[in-house]
Structure 1
Amino acid sequence: MALSVWPAAAQDMGGDNEVRTIETIIVTAQKREQSLQDVPIVVTAISGQLLQDSGVRDIKDLTLLTPGLIVTSTTSETVTTARIRGIGTVGDNPGLESSVGVVIDGVYRPRNGVSFGDLGELERIEVLKGPQGTLFGKNTSAGVINVVSKKPTFDFGADVELTVGNYGAREGSFSLNGPLAGNVLAGRLYAAARERDGFYDVDRGPGPRVETRDADRDFYTLRGQLLAQPGESFDARLVVDYTERDENCCAAPHVALSPSPAVLGVLQALRPGSFLGVDPFARRVEANRSSEQSIEDKGVSLELNWNLDALGGATLTSVSAWRDWESVNGQDSDFTTVDILYRNADGSYANKFKQLSQELRLAGETDRVSWLVGAFYANEDLDSHNPLLMGNDFRAYFGGLLGAPGIALINSLPGIAWAAGHGQLDTYEQESKSWALFTNNSIRLTEALELTLGLRYTNEAKDLDSHYANSLGALGGVGCQILRDQLAGITAQIGSLPISAPEQAQALQTIYGIGCAPYADPLFNDLATSQSSIDEGEWSGTAKLAYRFNDQVMGYLSYARGYKAGGYNLDRERTGNPALNPGQPDGIAVDLDTSFAKETVDSYEVGLKTEWANGAVLLNGALFYQDYTDFQLNTFTGIQFVVTSLPQVVSQGVDLDLIWRSPVEQLSVQAGITYAETEIKDFGSALATFRPERANDRLSFAPKWSGSLSATFQQPVNGNLVWRANLGGKYTSEYNTGSNLDPRKKQDAMTIVNARLGFGAQDERWMVEAWAQNLTDEEYYQVAFDGTLQGSSANPPAGLAQIPTSTVNAFLGAPRTYGLTMRFKF
């Protein structure tokens, strides 16, 4: 278990030596307030103070404080994926839900990216590891990140924060809190704006891109709350929030070049001198098309709590919420200055989520039982617009890959074949309805022995309407149709060249794989499909047995069943595998069933929670074993996204944590370690996605070791002043960042260090802080992927050399950033 929290110290004055103890840490992992040491779940509870000291603004920053947690983003900052113990879902395809759920103030967010952004003023964040199949909205198969923001209070106060930093960072936030109507109504208002220049210099080639930087930051957020407490038996909390982002993201430099001379030669020939080669951490990227992104996120939630004396003091809780989120992006889809494929930033490439949710819970307690029953409903509408257009250099690049015969072939076709500015214009409309009934009950069998039983029945129904279209109608695929008709002739042309049989096969694969890729296939022209094959009911839940040996030691055994609903691939699919069988195009057809199966997990855990040194030390640990069935895998092949299922994935290991209030005045130390063996036990039909020489069968983004160490020191100066220092580090051993486990996508072991040093008034009326994120400027990949239409790292056709032919690009981790922050309280 990895615990990261700085509670206030309590003092034990007995004896000659002062012992600094840790106050009770309260969490709501079982939807009621409990001491962390009494909860038979692995929970990382991170206080608002530690979040502030560590510079945590969003979920991605949270990784520094939580061993076993990795959060990455790819083609947009909104395409964010969280993984716990190596388990997570690649986020580029909006049809896949998250294995790690995000809940903010009791409201489930439908995708990790929808919850990405400034989290505002925080009370704490709880990271629950392992499947949570009972209490947190929709089921999650790997864990939950539960964000709890600060509520309004009846004490007036105002906070101002101003920050400047490198890369032109300029940030400011303001909050106002206090009573609005005596002791009945209180409000809290938070506003923030943050700007920063981009991390990358952009080589724009011939354009039309005008932006010279990429991965910048420019957003503002507003959050207003009202808390009504008209009496002791009722309270209501209304939360309204709005965030808008207008940024440029995300280009990706090259980390490995295609071994094919044809690929590199044609790129250089089309744009001489503009192919930068391999030096990713020079942070220069190639993009002739815009990567503008515009994001709007808004919502409202209302939480009502009634204390019902007629039911023995039971509490009825209602959480109603509405969310509306939209992302509009542009993309240079080939990540070069050669104009091959792109998506316009004109609103045509967009994803929209709307969600209406309602949760009801009734909870109470007797001498022997803490009980809870509830119901949950969510209606989610997803609209996805997915264009992919061919650039001005597409025909020349396509023909150039094959030399003189290929160029002659392309030139012989009508100009409308693979015409610039045209391509796929697909739209998807998905409706998801989910309802559930659940109960969670803790039964105190004796003073020391407690049994917790949780059960949930979930019904999930999804409907998808897809409209596939080529911008030129039937003529849009004329090149592909001619290509199919002339395939035998093309084979003869290749046969006359002085190349070997494997090279002939590779050339043939290139012709068909690019010219008749799904985005150029006339089979998809003006095709509308409707799917309603997903209507599944599933039981999930948990059983935990906890035994308190004494006041300092509690042990537990637990079993949990987790579930993540099936879904639909929101991309074009064809039956067969034309890319691997280019000589046999007959029988290739549109796949009218793009659904994929639900993901389930059986999880077993044994844990021990202990206190030492009169409460100055918390030492907790857990052994876990998680067996996943039909693990949902999303892979980009260099041409399209492929969703498949791995029949069995197993994650097993140990979580350990330590919190220590040292005898040294005002020094607190925390350390956590996660060891996880997360392995693919059965590849099934997904084997074609993986290369045979993969380094091992560990799942991507699954380091064996990860650990964090954080220390906070606060020293009074002259009675009225104080200085405060925080140093935190996160270590991860090596892991692969590509879902197909191409060895070139491996990230070496790394350590990220953050530091903050502050000086100010003891009453916190003012504070000045110098800080640095990634202090040592560690260079690392977030996600590595196959360059679009620049070869493949998937298994090649039979007879070809078993070597990858693709260029590899990567989305990089942030470089070192540093700055100065000033805080004022009134």
Structure 2
Amino acid sequence: MIARFLLLASVASASFITPGAFAQDAAQPVGDDTAQNVRGEVIVVTARRRQETAQEVPLAISVVKGDSIEATGNFNIVKLQQLAPTLQVYTTNPRNTSVNIRGLGVPFGLTSDGFEQGVGIYVDDVYNSRVAAATFDFLDVSQVEVLRGPQGTLYGKNTTAGAINITTNQPTFDFEGRAELTVGNLNLKQAKAAVSGPLSETVAARIAIAATSRRGTLYNVTSQRWINEQDNLGIRGQLLFRPNEDFSITLSGDYSKQDPECCGTTFVRVGRTQRPLNRQYDALAAAQNYVVPSRNPYDRLTDLDSNLNAGNKIGGVSAKVKWDVGPGTLTSVTAWRFWDWKPENDRDFTGLSIVSKSQNPSQQDQYSQEFRYNYESQDVDFVVGLFGFKQRIDTQGTEQQGSAAAKWSLTPSTDPNNAANKPATLAGLTASNTQWLKADSAALFGQLSWKVTDALTIQPGARINYDKKSGFYQRVVTNAQGQTISCTATPAPGTIAGTTQQCGVYQPQISAPSDSAWNFTYDFNVNYKVARDILAYATYAKSFKTLGINQNGLPLNADNTVNYDASTVKPEAVNHYEIGLKTQFWDRRATFNLTAFRTDIKNFQATVNGGQFGTVRGYLANAEKVRSQGIEADFKIVASDRFTAYANGAYTDAKYKKFTNAPCPPELSGGTLQPSGQAADYSQPGVPGALSPRQCDISGQNLPGVSKWAFSYGAEYNIPVTLLAKDGQAYLGVDGNYRSRWNNNASPSIYTEVKGYALTNLRAGFRGEGFDIFGWVRNVFDVNYIENLQVAPGNTGLIAGQVGDPQTWGGTIKVSF
């Protein structure tokens, strides 16, 4: 690790990560020290729950200003990773979204409501407990701070990997407004507007609205429609009451609606598994005379035959009270948020009616209350606080077998009376799931900054946290006639005995997991101001991710009985080490920051998949040990009023140090299980008819979803011009990003390797006082790339996926007053 650090530090000019990409509008100077140099750029952040400059904060932080987000077209968290390469965001739909930092955060794969995310997402100090609830378009955003590394002391148990702190523009007592209109190919239309001003001498208000629509990028030959479209609407209103300089109340409300026909997949490839050859994808498709529209995913064709929907409603209200009390400030943040999710999916990824219906609508309510007291003095600063959280999620799921299910899922025979040759064997078989989750959490936290000397600061922090989770899951299985079936030797009253084939696909199940835990988090930071603009720091953090429960149903044992031992999942235990250097030079027109880190996790919460239609889609299990380490470097330069540039880079080495009972990848699955008690044999991957290991030891393999190398860059040049009697600047901007290859399966597979890719974007325009007009091209070179891959259930070898956006272009007009 030391050797890598020294090597990369020596070539840091080629591997940079920005602390403030294109932060064009410098914030007001903070303190006399920053005010001494008017040429230097000052970026104010609230990463430590108080206002300070980004270069003063002794942690790795990327800051992206609102103007940069708009100029580069990164209008939500999914797109934000193009500006912050240590951030990884993967999504198959809003609910199944993974937000990771340095390869850690959310277990990669299908989402379960029973676990916590490891990257906390905050909007104006309000915690969004589900990643899906943060997939909204950025609306009237002032800036986004990406805090890298554990933030458990101030941000809570859900931040073992980091936090995303989003700040919106606040109400003003000076009247102002802005509007933006964008049109482009793929029938893109986007409109944004915001207005703010006083209602009286003590009350100000702000309202913002945004709407986005765009044609889909994947053509469904079955429905003859473009799918994976965008159809988003958002509105936010804020009311500020400030009777004096010492007291203020901000009331906020927001609502966001997404209603696209989404999220479909296309055929990507077929890989050999250990199923008998006549039970693998090519043979199964031939048996039903099925031909996929194209085997080239970049033809952007699919033939999915089930309804698709990604209806997503998000919103809430909050009240933030700030009161200067004595030498400090008391802050109270009270919030209620909801999330209403109405999905429909094609579960088999084909145009055949294998799974004819798959939907898991859910509704979430969450309540949170935080009290903080901030104190600042010449020698000591501290923050102390209390946090309470209450959440309930209800889900109603339905999955139904179609007319092609029997021939696809059951072993065929030449006997016409064989079950596989009778569509009615499985057609109409329906699993109806009812589930709920209750989660309660409370915490006491504090962080102290002791300024030992003018240069040396010691910063300890601690948090004690209590969590309680309880859940309920019930699956009722009915046949095509609507009769409830039972899979026990003696059918329960009111049920009939299910057939062997029916019980092999869906089994009734009921579980009610519940657990609670106390956890103690602490960190210790030492930072030293080597010179006026050079800060060195070192951090150790002991963090955790709280316990999890398997909320979407439990896996089955080898004898098809329910494995109740998998009901709960142990908390993660995190040890984190980090050293960093923050510098500014050339009259603060250049910023260079360097960070090296290592994170060790015991009982890592990983998502694993049963691989069959009849088991749960995904469930949690503990991997014994995981390690993530790497180096990040940040560079930005404001060479003059005419030229600004940045370059970003991160090297991330994230591995399973020990995971001995992981699910096997597709190439080692599908065959008869190897004898129990014998050492697993991995010597016949992809050999039809070979025996399959009962589980696989994937120790030493890379974590899914993580690129070892990630870079991004950008530059803008302008010249003063006069156009149509308007003085302004003509400008040309470029930005781009690169990610090296990564694997898209929880257990890395040779079939789910995603190739690295580089994207380049251009923009050119004219701006002056109160206006900005520019044209843009994204993915200039029309690069073909994969955003994610999915292994189809049943171990047939089918790999489906979602391809990235093709070249897009358009124009934007912005006005402000």
Q: TM-score range by the shorter chain?
A: 0.7 to 0.9
Local SS of the residue matching 1:392: coil
- Percent sequence identity is 26
Q: Are residues 451 and 222 of structure 1, via their aligned partners in 2, closer, same or farther at CA, if it must alter by over 3 Å?
A: same
* 1:321-375 alpha-carbon deviations (Å, 9 max, x no partner): 000111101111101111001435xxx6302211000000011122210011100
Cα distance in structure 1, aligned partners of 2:528 and 2:606: 38
Match of 2:219 among 201, 224, 229: 201
For the pair 1:638 / 2:614, whether they are aligned, the reply is: no
Q: 1:24 corresponds to which residue?
A: 42
Do structure 1's residue 700 and structure 2's residue 704 form an aligned pair?
yes
Q: Deviations over 1:80-116 (max 9, x none)?
A: 1111111132352232321211111101111111100
- TM-superposed deviation, 1:153: 0.9
Within the candidate set 731, 735, 749, 2:738 is matched to 731
Counterpart selection for 2:325 from 284, 303, 308? 308
Aligned partner letter, 2:138: L
1:2-17 to 2 correspondences below 5 Å: 2-8=18-24
Match of 1:102 in 2: 121
In structure 2, how many angstroms separate the alpha carbons of the residues matched to 1:724 and 1:476?
68
Distance of 2:308 and 2:728 partners within structure 1 = 47
Q: Are 2:188 and 2:212, in contact at CA under 8 Å, matched by a contact in 1?
A: yes
Distance in 1 separating the partners of 2:297 and 2:488: 35
2:175 & 2:95 partners in 1: Cα distance?
A: 35
Q: Report if the CA contact (8 A) 1:653-1:675 is conserved.
A: yes
Corresponding residue of 2:440: 433
Larger mean Cα displacement after TM superposition, 260-269 or 779-788: 260-269
The root-mean-square deviation of aligned C-alpha atoms, in Å, is: 2.6
Residue aligning to 1:278 = 295
Alignment of 1:573 onto 2:576: no
In structure 2, the residue matched to 1:817 is: 808
2:470 matched to 1:451? no
Deviation at 1:412, TM superposition (A): 9.1
1:650 matched to 2:623? The reply is no
Contact 2:472 2:551 in 1 (8 A): no
C-alpha change, 1:422 and 1:60, in structure 2 (3 Å) is same
1:243 match: 256
Alpha-carbon distance, 1:570 to partner: 2.5
Are 1:787 and 2:792 an aligned pair?
yes
Deviation at 1:790, TM superposition (A): 4.8
Q: 1:620 touches 1:656 (CA, 8 Å); kept in 2?
A: yes
* Distance of 1:380 and 1:464 partners within structure 2: 12
Partner of 1:801: none
**Are positions 1:158 and 2:134 aligned together?**
no
Give the 3-state SS of the residue equivalent to 1:60 in structure 2: helix
Would you say 1:322 and 2:331 are equivalent positions? no
Following the alignment from structure 1 to structure 2, what is the Cα–Cα distance between the partners of residues 476 and 280?
41
Other structure's SS at 1:65 match: coil
Asked whether 1:57 is paired with 2:51, we answer no
For residues 306-455 of structure 1, the aligned pairs below 5 Å read 306-309=323-326, 313-343=327-357, 349-399=360-410, 401-404=411-414, 408-410=417-419, 417-418=425-426, 420-455=427-462
Matched, 1:561 2:567: no
Q: Mean alpha-carbon deviation: is it higher for 271-280 or for 321-330?
A: 271-280
Corresponding residue of 1:598? 571
CA shift for structure 1 position 164:
1.2
Structure 1 residue 744 displacement after superposition: 1.5
2:233 is the alignment partner of 1:220: yes
Cα distance in 1 for residues equivalent to 2:217 and 2:167: 31
> 2 CA distance for matches of 1:121 and 1:255?
38
Residues 23 and 696 of structure 1: CA distance in aligned 2, closer, same or farther (over 3 Å): same
Distance 1:20 1:774, change over 3 A: farther
Q: Is the CA contact (8 Å cut-off) linking 2:236 and 2:252 kept in structure 1?
A: yes
Aligned counterpart, 2:194? 175
Shift of 1:812: 2.4
Match of 2:167 in 1: 148
Unaligned 5+ residue runs, structure 2?
1-16, 29-36, 491-498, 669-681, 686-697
Q: Does residue 39 of the first structure (1) align with residue 69 of the second (2)? A: no
Take 2:719 and 2:442, find their aligned partners in 1: how far apart are those partners? Answer: 52
Q: Aligned pair in 2 of structure 1 residues 763, 411: CA closer, same or farther (>3 Å)?
A: closer
How far apart, CA to CA, are the structure 1 residues paired with 2:516 and 2:67?
Answer: 44
CA contact (8 A) 1:257 1:278 kept: no
Distance 1:540 1:404 in 2: 63
Asked whether the 8 Å contact 1:42–1:128 carries over to 2, the reply is: yes
Tell me the CA shift for residue 543 of structure 1: 0.5
SS at match of 2:144: strand
Alpha carbons 2:386, 2:443 under 8 Å: kept: yes
SS in 2 for 1:320: strand
- The DSSP-based 3-state class of the residue aligned with 1:87 is coil
1:529 pairs with one of 511, 516, 526:
511
Partners of 1:422 and 1:261 lie apart in 2 by 24
2:765 aligned with 1:758 = yes
Q: Distance in 1 between matches of 2:805 and 2:510?
A: 42
Letter matched to residue 584 of structure 2: E
Quickly say closer, same or farther: Cα 1:9–1:243, change in 2 above 3 A: closer
User: Alpha-carbon deviations, 1:598-640, whole Å to 9, x = none?
Assistant: 1221100111111122212111101101001111111334323
Q: Which residue number in structure 2 is paired with residue 617 of structure 1? A: 590
CA distance in 1, matches of 2:420, 2:707: 50
* Contact in 1 for aligned 2:412/2:421 (Cα 8 Å): no
Does the CA contact (< 8 Å) of 2:62 and 2:147 recur in 1?
yes
Task: Name the aligned partner's letter for residue 350 of structure 1.
Answer: P
Retained in 1: the 8 A contact 2:237–2:254? yes
Q: Is the Cα contact below 8 Å between 2:555 and 2:610 reproduced in 1? A: no
Q: 1:520 aligns with which of 477, 487, 506?
A: 506
Aligned letter for 2:656? I
TM-aligned CA distance change 1:733 to 1:528, over 3 Å: closer
Question: Which contiguous aligned blocks of 4+ residues in structure 1 show a shift greater than 6 angstroms?
Answer: 478-482, 693-696
C-alpha distance 480-171 of structure 1, shift in aligned 2 (>3 A):
farther
The one of 635, 646, 650 aligned to 1:670: 646
Partner of 1:748: 755
Q: How many residues align?
A: 742
Q: Which amino acid aligns with 2:720?
A: P
Alpha carbons 1:2, 1:655 under 8 Å: kept = no
AA aligned to 1:409 is N
2:484 and 2:406 map into 1 onto residues whose CA distance is 14
* Matching residue of 1:16: none
How has the CA–CA distance of structure 1 residues 817 and 93 changed in structure 2, closer, same or farther, with 3 Å as cutoff?
farther
Q: Matched residues in 1 for 2:420 and 2:397: separation?
A: 29
The one-letter code sitting in structure 2 at the alignment partner of 1:709 is: Y
Question: 1: distance between equivalents of 2:251 and 2:755?
Answer: 46
Q: Is the 8 A contact 2:437 2:551 kept in 1?
A: no
1:477/1:394 CA distance change after superposition, 3 Å? farther
1:720-753, Cα deviation, whole Å (9 max, x unpaired): 1222332111111111122111111111221122
Contact kept, 8 Å, 2:95 with 2:111, in 1: the verdict is: no
Deviation at 1:304, TM superposition (A): 0.3
- Distance of 2:282 and 2:157 partners within structure 1: 50
d(CA) in 2 for partners of 1:575 and 1:79? 23
Displacement of 1:29: 1.0
Larger CA deviation: 36-45 vs 775-784: 775-784
The C-alpha deviation readout for 1:411-463, integer Å capped at 9, x for no partner, is 698x8742x23321111111000000000110001111000111000101001
Contact 2:412 2:418 in 1 (8 A): no
Amino acid at match of 1:617: A
Change (3 A) 1:780 1:366: same
Aligned equivalents of 2:776, 2:763: Cα separation in 1 = 4
Conservation of the 8 A alpha-carbon contact between 2:657 and 2:699: no
